[in-house]
């Protein structure tokens, strides 16, 4: 009886760990998608903050981030398939 209880607890722990790993993997995949769409925006905003903290004008980096953000919206709504893969890859989308 005691052996059966310990074995059952291990199975429950293993199942919980497996579910946790699946959730973490899904979050990682979603994060990769978001970063690929908004990566340049994040870089531009970080550059603007670094310039301002360094006592310089960060408006050019902020404007770059704004431009990239506007472009990310249009790139996100365009359809990407295997038919136009070469075009998308060449443009870095």
Contacts of 57 (CB under 8 A, 6+ apart): 51
92: left (phi over 0), alpha (psi -120 to 50) or beta: left
Weakest-pLDDT range from 1-10, 52-61, 63-72 = 1-10
Tens-place pLDDT, residues 11-44:
777 788 889 999 999 999 998 887 777 777 777 8
């Amino acid at each position: 009886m005691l052996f059966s209880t310990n074995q059952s607890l291990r199975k429950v722990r293993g199942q919980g760990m497996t579910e946790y790993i699946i959730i973490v993997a899904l979050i990682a995949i979603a994060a990769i998608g978001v970063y690929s769409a908004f990566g340049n925006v994040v870089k531009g905003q970080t550059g603007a903050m670094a310039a301002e903290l360094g006592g310089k004008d960060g408006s050019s980096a902020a404007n770059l981030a704004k431009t990239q953000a506007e472009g990310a919206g249009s790139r996100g709504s365009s359809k990407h398939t295997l038919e136009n893969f070469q075009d998308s890859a060449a443009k870095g989308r």
